Copies of this chain bind each other. A is one copy, B any other.
């Protein structure tokens, strides 16, 4: 906890060093560096020369303290190696950098305590916004928890942004950037149904996860729309990973029920399902069709390339950052009684080669 000054730290030049060496006042140096105030060409050159000589950079902490400072966004996610999250992070980071903002990243490992600790840590950093990525469990508790985060952050002049998570009910100062999750699943299931599939194995994800629930609902609605009875017995819940896809298919192949297509909750799950099918000597899509969700690069790297639902992850990240940036600039006095904007982006089916009409023997 106690951080002593480290050896070389004494060597870092300060604005006073620069002022002295250039024979000017600190105020002048500050002006030259900020560039937001008229300064004589002569002074500017004198100062800049010393700055280069000393390899001086301003101390960001001091600057923040004094009022200025670089706005910073914090991106908190479950796991940075998840392709979908990584794309959102890229969108946020890219948009942040474009505006000269900084990005902090933290991973929660799906641990509520770590999430709380990180939110507080970010609050200490005085970040302009905290972006939370990914689906959520436990709706009731989630709502309470996030509302608390939102207010806490808001009191510190920061903004909570929920990306790909349920938006908050009531009068809570937060921004939500979402995608048409259920609609995407509806379209994807419809695609399968219109190809003639009726017995489809559904692997929506974890039963308690918000995104999984939405995808399942979308699929159900599609079945209804097609006048096909949706059989709950065809659903297998589990994590968004390839192992789950593999096991679920392997087991269904062994113990039934019979199916002609797999509707996977994510592309990664679809990849696992594909492996299991192959291992059983089945061809995709000749014998069984598969579709995924997310449209991460993996989808087009598989053979056959996966028909899936495109989710604009990177764009969501960009949009999220833009939203807080706008709020920050335009903001000012009007943030009373606003229950947080709620932006939702569209999804669409990307047809590739993993679906064929069922061939009944």
Contact = CB atoms under 8 A, between A and B. Distances in A.
Nearest to A327: B6
Contact of A121 (B35, B69, B70): B70
A104 B8 CA distance: 21
A93 B71 contact: no
Count of chain copies? 2
Contacts of A107: 90, 93-94, 97
Contacts of A105: 89, 93, 103-105
A124 B57 contact: yes
Contacts of A103: 104-106
B81 A81 contact: no
A123 to B, nearest CB: 5
Contact of A3 (B69, B121, B300): B69
Contact of A11 (B94, B114, B155): B155
Given A86-B86, A102-B104, A336-B2, A157 B57 contact: no
Contacts of A89: 80, 105
Contacts of A229: none
A303 interface: yes
Interface stretch (A130-138, A180-188, A267-275): A267-275
B67 A65 contact: no
A58 interface: yes
B81 A87 contact: yes
A192 B69 CA distance: 56
Nearest to A58: B124
Contact of A275 (B62, B80, B90, B303): B303
Contacts of A336: 2, 4
A60 interface: yes
A264 to B, nearest CB: 12
Given A89-B80, A157-B12, A301-B302, A65 B59 contact: yes
Interface in A1-34: 1-12, 34
A301 B328 contact: no
Contact of A61 (B12, B64, B81, B93): B64
A69 B65 CA distance: 13
A227 interface: no
A28 B317 CA distance: 42
A174 to B, nearest CB: 13
Contacts of A104: 102-105
Contacts of A87: 81
A3 to B, nearest CB: 6
A156 B17 CA distance: 14
Contacts of A45: none
Contacts of A158: 8
A-B CB proximity, top 9 nearest: A9-B157, A61-B64, A60-B124, A8-B157, A271-B301, A12-B156, A61-B61, A105-B105, A2-B336
10 contacts: A11-B156, A60-B124, A60-B125, A61-B61, A61-B125, A80-B90, A275-B301, A275-B305, A298-B298, A298-B301
